[in-house]
């Protein structure tokens, strides 16, 4: 297949390597609003570079890894050509755009996959299995953490949609996937604790939220743009039969200060690209099979919408200082 990758930034560079190496790809074309960036990346992975219009015009499969505020129009253009499309999270920056895309995707029947790569991580998959099989028993509560080691570059911040839509949206998706339940209500708070640059864009660098799920279980999450020991993405699930953790191991960037406890013993995950390298590969290899018609989308536009609705509810909760029902957000 001729695969078109749009976006040659942080995540686009990793996706380019994966796509170039996949046997489903006969030709990879890289495009970016910054033509030089596309050229450098294409040369690095042995791909061709082209302008966005040209790359889109010949694609059999489209991978969108451009800045978030470009997603909606690029997805629409892919749909116009009926090209199976992978779009990085979030599906669009705004809720109304997301709703419109879900209708367009569902009416068109064109396969679309949203880039929530935690669904392809071995630890999260095992946690999901343990919940579904009943081995965890009654699920009492879940703790989620998404901490980036370093804030993104400044130009990323105003295009991102803000902390809840950009970072916590991973947690809002994975909690649904892990539990099979929907988020019913969110109570969120946040602050600029250390990086005034976020305040400049009406954004925050640190947040917490509690979630009430449709099965009665509870969840709590933390989000941070700065965690100097490394990339800390974890989930802890507590049930009536067992308690389990995803992301706790020798590379967890969290140090125990208890006497005689030597944790962590190894070098920490340095960033999200390292933490989820295998998962990013697996999600794109699944997408190329989706594009070939071999698999249904493992993360649909409607999944993207549900996570976005929770992110919008969290933002509203933080701004209004009150719990917000996801049903309010439509
Ligand atoms: N799944 C994940 O874990 C994960 C991790 C990081 C980023 N992302 C998502 O991937 C996207 C890119 O993030 P990034 O960190 O690589 O950002 P980045 O700023 O490093 O790169 C974005 C690239 O998009 C290009 N671009 C912007 N508008 C464009 C347009 N209209 N057409 C073509 N190119 C355009 C920019 O020139 C830049 O090269 C974001 O939507 C982000 O939310 C997902």
> Which ligand 1 atom sits nearest the alpha carbon of residue 69?
28
Query: Where in the chain are all domains bearing CATH 3.40.50.720?
Result: 2-117+281-299
Residues of the chain with pLDDT > 70, as a percent, come to 100
Given this model, what pLDDT does residue 330 score?
A: 84
Q: Where in the chain is the domain with CATH 3.30.360.10?
A: 118-276+307-328
Tell me which of 42, 50, 66, 282 to substitute to probe ligand 1's pocket, judged by most ligand atoms within 8 Å of the beta carbon.
Answer: 66
Nearest residue by C-alpha to atom 5 in ligand 1: 11
pLDDT at position 283 over 90: yes
Cα–ligand 1 centroid distance for 68 (angstroms): 6
Mutate which of 4, 8, 11, 118 for ligand 1 pocket (most atoms within 8 A of beta carbon): 11
pLDDT 10s digits, 1-17? 999 999 999 999 999 99
Q: According to the model, what pLDDT value does residue 263 have?
A: 84
Of 116, 45, 85, 86, the C-alpha closest to 272 is 116
Q: Is 212 in the pocket of ligand 1 (CB under 6 A)?
A: no
Question: For the domain bounded by 118-276+307-328, which CATH number is listed?
Answer: 3.30.360.10
**Strand intervals (E) in the chain:** 2-6, 27-31, 48-49, 61-64, 85-88, 112-115, 139-147, 183-191, 206-213, 218-224, 232-239, 243-246, 324-325
Q: Are 244 and 127 a contacting pair, CB within 8 Å?
A: yes
User: Probe ligand 1: pick from 67, 118, 170, max atoms within 8 Å of CB?
Assistant: 67
pLDDT in tens, 60-83: 999 999 999 999 999 999 999 999
Q: How many CA atoms lie within 13 A of 143 on its CB side?
A: 9
Taking Cα atoms as reference points, which of 159, 251, 166 lies closest to residue 205?
166
Distance 138 CA to ligand 1 centre (A): 39
Distance between CA 49 and CA 266 in Å, rounded?
Answer: 39
| 37 CA closest ligand 1 atom index | 39
CA of 11 to the centre of ligand 1 (A): 7
Q: Count CB-CB contacts under 10 A for residue 106.
A: 13
| pLDDT at position 265 | 82
What's the 290 CA to ligand 1 centre distance in angstroms?
22
Q: For 91-141, how does the pLDDT look when each residue is reduced to its tens digit (9 = 90+)?
A: 999 999 999 999 999 999 999 999 999 999 999 999 999 999 999 999 999
* Residue tagged 């879940």 (tokens): 142
- Topology (CATH) of 2-117+281-299: Rossmann fold (3.40.50)
Mean pLDDT of the 292-306 span: 98
Q: Mean per-residue pLDDT for 175-195?
A: 98
Q: How far is the CA of 88 from the centre of ligand 1 (A)?
A: 8
Looking at the DSSP assignment, which residues form a beta bridge with residue 6? 31, 64
Q: Say which residue the tokens 């009654």 belong to.
A: 138
The pTM is what?
0.98
- Ligand 1 pocket, residue 126 CB under 6 Å: no
Cβ of 311 below 6 Å from ligand 1: no
**Average pLDDT estimate for 230-245:** 98
Q: Does the pLDDT of residue 154 top 90, yes or no?
A: yes
| C-alpha 71 to ligand 1 mean position (Å) | 9
């Amino acid at each position: 297949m001729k695969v078109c990758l749009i976006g040659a930034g942080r995540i686009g560079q990793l996706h380019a390597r994966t796509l170039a190496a996949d046997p489903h790809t006969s030709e990879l074309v890289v495009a970016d609003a910054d033509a030089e960036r596309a050229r450098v990346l294409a040369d690095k992975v042995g791909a061709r570079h082209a302008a966005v219009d040209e790359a889109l015009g010949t694609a059999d499969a489209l991978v969108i890894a451009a800045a978030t505020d470009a997603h909606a129009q690029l997805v629409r253009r892919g749909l116009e050509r009926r090209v199976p499309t992978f779009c990085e999270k979030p599906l669009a920056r705004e809720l109304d755009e997301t709703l419109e895309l879900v209708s367009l995707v569902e009416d068109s029947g064109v396969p679309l996959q949203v880039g929530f790569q935690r669904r392809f991580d071995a630890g999260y998959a095992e946690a999901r299995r343990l919940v579904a099989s009943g081995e965890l028993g009654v699920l009492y509560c879940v703790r989620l953490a998404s901490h980036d080691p370093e804030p993104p570059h400044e130009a990323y911040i105003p295009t991102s949609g803000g902390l809840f839509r950009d970072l916590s949206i991973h947690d809002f998706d994975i909690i649904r996937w892990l539990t099979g339940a929907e988020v019913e209500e969110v109570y969120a708070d946040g602050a600029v604790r250390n990086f005034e640059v976020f305040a400049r864009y009406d954004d925050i660098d640190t947040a917490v939220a509690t979630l009430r799920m449709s099965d009665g279980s509870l969840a709590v999450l933390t989000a941070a743009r700065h965690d100097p020991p490394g990339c800390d993405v974890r989930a802890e699930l507590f049930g009536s039969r067992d308690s389990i953790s995803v992301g706790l191991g020798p590379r967890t960037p969290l140090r125990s200060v208890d006497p005689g406890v030597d944790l962590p013993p190894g070098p920490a995950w340095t960033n999200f690209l390292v933490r989820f390298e295998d998962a990013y590969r697996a999600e794109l290899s699944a997408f190329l099979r989706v594009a070939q018609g071999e698999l249904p989308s493992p993360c649909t536009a409607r999944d993207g919408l549900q996570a976005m609705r929770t992110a919008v509810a969290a933002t509203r909760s933080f701004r209004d200082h009150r719990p917000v029902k996801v049903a309010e957000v439509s």
